[in-house]
Amino acid sequence: MNYEHITGLVTGPNLFSYIGETSWQDHNDIADCTHIATQSADLGHHRYADPRGWFEEYARTLNFLGWSLYGDSVHTRTQHIVSGSVAEFLVESAYAMKDARQANAMIDTLDAFNSDQPALLSFDQETGKGETFQIIPARYDAHGNLTIALFKLELSVRMKRNNFLFWDWEKHSAQIVQRKVFLKLNRSELVHKRVLIDKVLNERLMKRFPLRKNRLVNH
């Protein structure tokens, strides 16, 4: 029997990849919180002219909504040269972290994303064709806490391209600046902020594109 497994989510400049099964409630909570964080960051900082300020405001808003720094996580900034596609870079980066589950989940998410034309078009528009975007793997830790790795990426190229994630850039023709931080959800704090969250969501809602992968289940 076939069923549709949600492997990720595209909303605004955010691409989520779910590592393992994610509950429907957590899928919606992730979308709700990042919607508010995106809106708050856009109000305080220009998305392209001030990416650092934008990212810090985004993370502060998530913290306000109940997402705390995970472990010894701190904001870091690194620079990389892309040879090939950004999608390949994302998968290779996950493998380099010795995280096969994250890499395999990213492959599933990117496969589903690459066949979803409305999601691709929205992501190109929301990110300035890769000028600044976010990749966010989500998973449960050993204690059942929902955690996210928040990667903010800024793509520098000579000429922008549609479907930038999957464009095969020539060797050394693209560079990426990456900022990252790891966050864990405090569910009780999120419940405490639910009235405020619902009020903001009623005023404006970003488009959401769940990414689904068909899988065969045997009983």
- Which CA distances in Å does 201 have to 29, 31, 98, 136, 206? 12, 10, 37, 21, 9
The answer on pLDDT for 55 being more than 60 is yes
Q: Is residue 47 part of a domain?
A: yes
Mean pLDDT for the stretch of residues 37-54: 93
Q: Is residue 136 part of a domain?
A: yes
Closest CA to 8 of 30, 32, 38, 39: 30
As given in the structure block, the two tokens for residue 158 are 């000579």
Contact criterion met (CB below 8 Å) for 54 and 47: yes
Higher pLDDT, 5 or 181: 181
Q: Is residue 46 part of a domain?
A: yes
DSSP category for residue 206: -
> CB under 8 Å to 110, separation ≥6 — which residues?
87, 90, 91, 165, 166
Return the pLDDT at 197: 93
Q: Is residue 218 part of a domain?
A: no
Mean pLDDT for the stretch of residues 28-49: 94
pLDDT in tens, 57-104: 999 999 999 999 876 555 667 888 888 899 999 999 988 888 889 999
Q: Is residue 216 part of a domain?
A: no
Q: Is residue 3 part of a domain?
A: no
- Whichever domain contains 32, its CATH number is 3.40.198
What residues make up the domain containing 159?
13-210
Q: Is residue 7 part of a domain?
A: no
Mean per-residue pLDDT of the chain: 89
Strand partners, 14: 11, 134
Q: Is residue 103 part of a domain?
A: yes
What CA dihedral angle connects 14, 194, 61 and 32, to 10 degrees? 10
- What is the number of domains present in the chain? 1
pLDDT in tens, 131-188: 999 999 999 999 999 999 999 999 999 899 999 999 998 877 899 999 889 999 999 9
- Which CA distances in Å does 88 have to 18, 32, 167? 18, 28, 10
pLDDT in tens, 7-28: 999 999 999 999 998 899 999 9
Helix residue spans in the chain (DSSP H): 24-44, 51-64, 86-96, 100-114, 117-127, 187-192, 194-203
Return the pLDDT at 173: 82
